[in-house]
Amino acid sequence: MITKQVYVNIKTGLHARPASYFVDVASKFVSDINISFSGVTVNAKSIIGVLSLSVGEGDQVTLVVDGPDEEEALDALEKILSGEDGLLDNQVG
């Protein structure tokens, strides 16, 4: 199991398209993945759960990944949240 705190560097936060993209990527992994914000933890593979967190730009979230592909999953999701993957640069929530 890996736990890591990550700052969200997405202009719209985890809303609409960014949340959908995050959930789509999380769902490709076998590992159990949870995301926590402001004392609430949800399944990172649930669009309703992720949207319910109302995570904004600059917020810090905690990712907990447990399973056979946990390192790859954490790396991919951290890149999305930190804006390093570049895929969300031109998208508006």
Count of domains forming the chain: 1
Segment 69-75 mean pLDDT: 98
Bridge partners (DSSP) of residue 32 are: 66
Confidence of residue 79 (pLDDT cuts 50, 70, 90): very high
* 87: in domain: no
Q: 14-65 pLDDT, tens per residue?
A: 999 999 999 999 999 999 999 999 999 999 999 999 999 999 999 999 999 9
Segments forming the whole domain that contains residue 15: 2-82
Q: pTM for this one?
A: 0.91
What pLDDT score was predicted for residue 10?
94
Measured CA to CA, the distance from residue 46 to residue 71 in angstroms comes to: 20
Q: Which of 17, 28, 32 is nearest to 65 (CA)?
A: 32
Q: Which of 32, 44, 48 is nearest to 6 (CA)?
A: 44
CB proximity list for 14: less than 8 A, separation 6 or greater: 8, 22, 50, 51, 53, 55, 81
Residue 91 in contact with residue 16, Cβ under 8 Å? no
Catalytically active residues are: 15
CATH number, residue 60: 3.30.1340.10
